[in-house]
């Protein structure tokens, strides 16, 4: 199916946006033991988004408390909704925006907390709840026959979707479907011309089973930024080297090889139990005029990542945000945000 024939496509993240969706941390999430620390990180993220565009916040608490906490930010660009939540990973339970004849339509898939690893009864309902509350100015379509998280797919906006086999075909997501059936489903549902499958790249401490947004990201001008590892003694070397080889052989939907940009691999970060955490610079958020990049208090690596990402997004300001708080719960900046293209909301 050709996306140009019926004018339905999954836009690239750098296309014009109306807002970004986040869910605010609270004491009943896994953040409860470090709530002050992570809330400060969320404040920093919210502030930087509001400098550029609108923000939707889902919170089970009094929305006025969030507004008070963000005093001094451009809160006139923000809408808060009272919504029960299990956690705050908006990338994965938020809606996926398709463009049909240039107009947005929101796809709502099943969210089961990365293969039923955690509670998801509330988060699975956030998109329909926000729709019921009038948060969106476009149609929501349910695709409840399939489990899919936003962090598991990347679109170049021109008919190619990139994903990983480990995540998309895991038994506890869509185990009733074969690889071929999943591939066909993605092609059909997103009206894509090609699915670019990565079969390598697993990161230690990754609860998502290999979300693409921790490994490789599309950028304008047929570019892919990806996580590399040059340290042969690192436990990730073989997997990331194999992924690099896959990307070198990859082509877009028109058969053209990608321009590749290798991002540095952060120095190892461990939790209190000595388990490695999945820190990555690929987990950046693109807004209308900026790119917000997670940093990890590693001056050399942070600076190199910011410089490389800036080169891939000319004309956008690149801003680093310390995300050491987020990585303690095995995610980062892109994981806690979901962009909403133009037309989804009007504030």
Query: How large is the average pLDDT for residues 315-331?
Result: 98
Closest CA to 258 of 185, 341, 158: 158
Structure tokens at 141: 């379509």
Please give the pLDDT value at position 125. 98
Please give the pLDDT value at position 333. 98
Please give the pLDDT value at position 129. 98
Structure tokens at 223: 């570019």
Q: pLDDT (tens digit, 9 = 90+) per residue, 250-271?
A: 999 999 999 999 999 999 999 9
Per DSSP, 61 falls in state S
Mean pLDDT computed over every residue of the chain:
96
> Any bridge partners for residue 55, and if so which?
20, 78
Structure tokens at 265: 């691999």
Strand pairing report for 338-341 and 317-322: unpaired
Q: pLDDT (tens digit, 9 = 90+) per residue, 115-174?
A: 999 999 999 999 999 999 999 999 999 999 999 999 999 999 999 999 999 999 999 999
> Any bridge partners for residue 100, and if so which?
8, 103
Instruction: Output the DSSP codes for 73-132.
Output: B-GGGEEEEE---S---HHHHSPEEEEETTEEEEEEEE--HHHHTS--TTGGGHHHHHHH
pLDDT at 2 over 80: no
Structure tokens at 70: 């963000």
Strand pairing report for 290-295 and 285-286: antiparallel
Burial 140-164 (b: 16+ CB within 10 A, else e): beeeeebbbbbbbbbbbbbbbbbbb
Structure tokens at 40: 């400060």
CATH topology of domain 3-341: 3.75.10
Please give the pLDDT value at position 346. 82
Structure tokens at 267: 């120095």
**E strand or H helix at 295, and its extent?**
strand 290-295
Q: pLDDT (tens digit, 9 = 90+) per residue, 30-48?
A: 999 999 999 999 999 999 9
pLDDT at 3 over 60: no
CA 15, 307, 315, 249 torsion-angle sign: negative
pLDDT at 347 over 90: no
> Any bridge partners for residue 21, and if so which?
56, 338
pLDDT confidence bin for 328, thresholds 50/70/90: very high
Domain-by-domain residue ranges, the chain?
3-341
Please give the pLDDT value at position 340. 98
Report field, pTM of the whole predicted structure over 0.95: yes
Note whether 66 and 43 are within 8 A (CB).
no
pLDDT confidence bin for 4, thresholds 50/70/90: very low
Q: Coil, strand, or helix at residue 327?
A: helix
pLDDT at 293 over 80: yes
User: What's the chain's length in residues?
Assistant: 347
pLDDT confidence bin for 52, thresholds 50/70/90: very high
Distance CA 299, CA 162 (A): 30
In degrees and rounded to multiples of 5, residue 289 shows phi and psi of -125, 5
Per DSSP, 184 falls in state H
pLDDT at 1 over 90: no
Among the residues of the chain, which ranges form H helices?
Answer: 3-6, 35-50, 63-69, 90-93, 113-116, 126-132, 165-168, 171-174, 179-189, 237-249, 299-312, 324-327
Q: Name which residue leads in pLDDT, 219 or 202.
A: 219
Percent of the chain residues topping a pLDDT of 70: 98
Distances (CA, A) of 174 to 121, 146, 148, 230: 18, 7, 9, 34
> Any bridge partners for residue 290, and if so which?
317
Note whether 44 and 25 are within 8 A (CB).
no
Category of 72 on φ-ψ map: left (φ > 0), alpha (ψ -120 to 50) or beta: left
pLDDT at 191 over 70: yes
Q: Please give the radius of gyration of the chain, using alpha carbons only, rounded to the nearest integer.
A: 19
């Amino acid at each position: 199916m050709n996306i140009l024939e019926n004018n339905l496509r999954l836009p690239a993240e750098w296309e014009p946006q109306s807002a970004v969706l986040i869910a605010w941390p609270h004491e009943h999430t896994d953040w409860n033991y470090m709530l002050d620390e992570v809330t400060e990180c969320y404040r920093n993220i919210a502030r930087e988004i509001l400098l550029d565009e609108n923000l939707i916040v889902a919170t089970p608490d009094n929305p006025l408390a969030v507004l008070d906490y963000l005093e001094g930010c451009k809160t006139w660009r923000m809408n808060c909704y009272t919504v029960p939540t299990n956690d705050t990973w908006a990338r994965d339970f938020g809606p996926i925006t398709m463009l049909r004849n240039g107009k947005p339509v929101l796809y709502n898939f099943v969210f089961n907390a990365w293969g039923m690893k955690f509670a998801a009864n509330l988060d699975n309902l956030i998109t329909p709840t926000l729709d019921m509350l009038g948060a969106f100015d476009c149609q929501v379509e349910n695709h409840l026959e399939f489990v899919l998280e936003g962090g598991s797919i990347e679109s170049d906006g021109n008919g190619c979707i990139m994903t990983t086999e480990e995540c998309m075909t895991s038994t506890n997501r869509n185990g009733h479907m074969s690889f071929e059936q999943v591939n066909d489903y993605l092609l059909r549902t997103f009206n894509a011309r090609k699915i670019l499958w990565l079969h390598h790249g697993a990161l230690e401490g990754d609860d998502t089973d290999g979300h693409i947004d921790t490994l490789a990201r599309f950028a304008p001008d047929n570019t892919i930024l990806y996580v590399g590892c040059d340290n042969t003694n690192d436990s990730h070397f073989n997997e990331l080297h194999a992924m690099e080889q896959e990307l070198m052989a990859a082509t877009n939907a028109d058969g053209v090889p990608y321009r590749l940009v290798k991002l540095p691999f952060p120095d190892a970060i461990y939790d209190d139990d000595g388990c490695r955490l999945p820190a990555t610079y690929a987990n950046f958020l693109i807004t209308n005029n900026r790119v917000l990049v997670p940093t990890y208090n590693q001056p050399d690596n942070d600076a190199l990542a910011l410089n490389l990402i800036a080169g891939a997004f000319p004309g956008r300001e690149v801003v680093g945000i310390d995300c050491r708080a987020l990585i303690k719960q095995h995610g980062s900046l892109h994981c806690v945000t979901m962009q909403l293209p133009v037309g989804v909301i009007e504030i």
